[in-house]
Structure 1
Amino acid sequence: MTIRTKMTVLFLSIVTVLLLVFCVTIYFLSDVYRQSEFETRLKREALTAATIVFNKEEVSPDLLKILTRNQMTALSKENIVILNAQDKVIYQSGLKNNLYTPSKLEEIKRNEELFWEEGEVEKFGITIKNRARDYLVIVSAVDKYGLSKQHNLAILLSFGSILLIALSAILGRFFTGGLLKPMQQMIKEIDAINASYLSLRLSQRGNKDELGQLAQRFNEMLDRLQIAFHKQRAFVSHASHELRTPLTAITGQIQVSLLANDNMEELRTMAKSVLEDVNQLNILTNNLLELNSIDVDDIRIKASLLNVVDLLLQAKSEVSQKYPESKIILQIDDHEDYLPEIYANESLIFSAFINLIENAVKFASDQTAQVKLLTLQDGIQIKFQNKIYTLVNLNMDVIFDPFIRGANSKNVKGHGVGLSLTKRITDIHKGNLAVNLEESDFVEFILKLPKGSPL
């Protein structure tokens, strides 16, 4: 069942229930009013008949009956009976049928007035005093005119309800179609969006309703998907290029070695070159695997309490072994009240420290890197500085994207993966990684990590 049909059925159900409640209420209120009005008429007839009977010295009983039958206010099938205190009939007009039972007489005496129904016949009894004597007057009749009005009212309400329900169904179908028309257009536009047409967007038309908000959110999601899709394409393209370069070099060197003479020195030199390319290829592969395994939105890391100073010293030692000619200066600003400790994943944080220190060493003009640790109340801050020859023009929007390398990296070995990996590690730990280029001869990466909590 479509939403349009569901909305129409729901709207129709609500209208039907409301109409049913309205019609039943009107009908029963009208019937209550009719009964009340007819009860008043019966009471008036009873009092009129009693007045005539109790003053009958000048009116004979036969003449009284004739007057009663022919009075202009006579009711349909009207019967009147008057009884004395001994329940003996002293006057009766109309049909000679039994208007009462002994129990009803007792009830009239007890309540002084009583109205009741027997089928379509409605009856009224009243106790009247005349010359210190009690009398009972009972009047019965059929409210032919009132019942006819009730019947006509029922027909009118029934046909009116059917007509209104049918009209509501037509109007409900029409208006729900108009309300859902933007959604149908939205479905057509969504069907046109695929991997080849990710730039297409839903029409918002300036609406501020729920459908307009849905279109806005969907377009924002498409923006994120398009960016992710382009990054994925760029990642695959750059990764293919970076992998092809060492593989081509290895292939060429092996081919040359096959054509070379049996000069062991040349073969040894060539083997070292191949080994270096293989090591670079291995590093690149490991970085790609690590980069691919880290997803900021989904990863669940195992955190433990880490001493940042120990990790920095280990990272410094490892980078120093890799770059023996480098100089790494570690400055620790101890705080009396705060310890340089955080809750984080040890292997990931250690990898981030390695990447940032190695990056500072590789691009330093004097192969010197300065690492400054500052302990804060809510975490730590580490600055990684290196001196450069000239100011580097860096695009801050893409500096942390994979395989992005600056103009000063032509003669520096690397693949442009380290900073991207470090940025993802920082984001996982709810930290921040920024670049400061305010000083013309220094590049400074500022890493901030919160205290965190054990996971």
Structure 2
Amino acid sequence: MKIRHRLSLQFTLISGIILTVFFVLIYLLSAQYIQNSFYKLLQMRALVTAQVYLEKDELTKKKFLEIEKSYRERIPDESGNIYDQYNQGVFIEKTKHNWPVSLLETIRHKEVYRFSFREESGLGIYYPDNQGDFVVIVTARNTAGIQQLQYLLWILIIMFFVALLIIFLMGQWYASRALEPIKNINRQVQKIRSNNLHMRVQQGLNKDEIDELATNFNGLLQHLEQAFDMQRSFVSNASHELRTPLTTIIGEIEVTLQNSRSREEYVQTLGTLLGESEKLKIITDGLLQLTRIDANLTEANSELIRLDELLWEISEYWRHKTPPLQLRIQLSGLPEDASLLCIRGNRSLVTLALQNIVRNAFKFSYNRDVSCLLSYSDNSLTLSVSDKGIGIAAEDTEKIFMPLYRADNAHTFDGYGIGLSMTQKILLLHKATITVSSIIGQGTTFNIFFTPAGKF
């Protein structure tokens, strides 16, 4: 079922429930009003009856004629009885009902008493007079009131179904109007394919949920476009990196097979083939290692790592290299609580990530000193690694984390463009982020933002 029909039916159901409640209340209140009005009419008839039969000798002739005229305007099926203090019927010889004494006593006690008898309504009043104390009872069938209620019931039923039909049709129209922007989005999405990911869904001006949907979908398209670009770039870079050693291997073999060679020439050729094969192995091993970093951190494969101690270990590692390299470590704003310098993660992976950054800093600065600053502020640990090397062009700063990507000014250095990709995946695994800022010819700074173990 389409959303338009489902919304219309749900809206109609809710409206039907509300209408039912209101119509039932209208019917019940109307029935109560008609019944009360009829009882008031019976009370008036009881007073007129009493005045006609009990006050005749005390009223003026004109007044009595007016009351008698009112008495003649009877209610259909009306019946009246008057009883004295001895519970005997007086003034009216023929009685329609033989009322029990208990009813008469109840009327004397309450003075005005309403009751129902069979299909008729009845009312009794206590009427004291100079001739004695009397009870007047009037009964009648509310034929007009019953007809009014039946007419009202049919009107409410017809109005109920007509209203539901109108509500359903209006719901269909309103749902169609409300969902029209989604239809437009669907039509635009159907035109987007892998070869035109640059297209975007048109956003509205209402700043509502549909506009938010279009915004989020455009964001998804942008990420997909970037992913496709990265994939194409990765394939291009991988092809280039793999093709170079393969081309060398094939060329060496073809040249060697053209003529007979001396033993020294065969040894030289095999050495070249071995070197190029080792390059292929390094590249494939690096790519394979990249795919294995996607594991989840658990209590079993993670531990608390104190970053300042890890930095000193890395510095010691490079100090014992040949030739020794200097990693200058600075600490700033460190907290008194040493636990805030700890992160939870896999020690070997974190070490590998930081070593990749430090190694690049030394490599691209021609082994000059590298600065490393660890600072703490606002419940965050920031590690900055800076060098004074060749720098990175602005258009390359977002691409250096792509597998096998190398900037134009980096091709003169050894490497395959795998280290930074591996570093970024390791840091993402540890819920850390990395940014880079660089100036060509002046140096590069990598900033890594860690969350302490207490906030992890």
TM-score (norm 1): 0.84
Distance in 2 between the 1:40 and 1:451 partners?
A: 82
Distance 1:317 1:258 in 2: 48
CA RMSD of aligned residues (A): 3.2
Aligned residue runs from structure 1 range 271-310, under 5 A: 271-294=270-293, 299-300=296-297, 302-304=301-303, 305-306=305-306, 307-309=309-311
Shift, 1:127, TM fit: 1.4
2:326 equivalent to 1:329: yes
AA of the residue aligned to 2:20: L
Aligned partners of 1:175, 1:448: CA distance in 2, in Å? 52
Residue 104 (structure 2) aligns with: 105
Tell me which residue corresponds to 1:381. 383
Judged with a 3 Å threshold, the aligned counterparts in structure 2 of structure 1 residues 250 and 18 are, in CA distance, closer, same or farther, namely same
In structure 2, the partner of 1:15 is 15
Give runs of aligned pairs for residues 46-445 of structure 1, distance below 5 A. Answer: 46-56=46-56, 71-92=71-92, 96-98=95-97, 100-131=99-130, 133-259=132-258, 261-294=260-293, 299-300=296-297, 302-304=301-303, 305-306=305-306, 307-309=309-311, 311-313=313-315, 315-316=317-318, 320=321, 328-333=325-330, 342-364=343-365, 367-377=366-376, 379=381, 381-388=383-390, 393-395=393-395, 396-429=397-430, 430-437=432-439, 442-445=442-445
Q: Report the CA distance shift for 1:342/1:154 in structure 2 as closer, same or farther (over 3 A).
A: closer
8 A contact 1:426–1:433 mirrored in 2: no
Deviation string 1:191-232 (CA, Å, 9 cap, x unpaired) is: 332323322322223232211211111111111111112211
Q: Which runs of 5+ in 1 are unaligned?
A: none
Question: C-alpha separation between the residues in 2 aligned to 1:194 and 1:441?
Answer: 42
Q: Which amino acid aligns with 2:51?
A: T
Q: What amino acid is aligned across from residue 420 of structure 1 in structure 2? A: S
Q: Per the alignment, in what secondary structure is the counterpart of residue 24 of structure 1? A: helix
Aligned residue for 2:387, secondary structure, equals: strand
Q: 1:447 to 1:282 in 2, by over 3 A?
A: farther
CA distance in 1, matches of 2:129, 2:230: 109
- CA gap 1:99/1:160 in 2 versus in 1, 3 angstroms: farther
Identity %: 27
Structure 1 equivalent of residue 43 of structure 2: 43
Q: Taking structure 1 as reference, are residues 110 and 413 closer, same or farther at Cα in structure 2, changes over 3 Å only?
A: same
> Distance between the aligned counterparts of 2:451 and 2:218, measured in 1?
36
The whole-number CA distance in structure 2 between the counterparts of 1:424 and 1:252 is 37
Distance 1:150 1:51 in 2: 32
Q: Distance in 1 between matches of 2:229 and 2:343?
A: 35
Change (3 A) 1:212 1:447: closer
Q: Deviations for 1:54-96, whole angstroms, at most 9, x for unmatched residues?
A: 245599xxxx9xx979944211111111111221111327x74
Q: How many residues align?
A: 435
Residues 119/185 of structure 1: CA separation in 2 closer, same or farther (3 Å cut): farther
Deviation digits for residues 10-64 of structure 1 (CA, Å, limit 9, x no counterpart): 11112222222222222222222222222122112212222222245599xxxx9
**Structure 1 residue 124: Cα displacement:** 0.7
Is contact 2:49–2:71 with CA below 8 Å preserved after alignment?
no
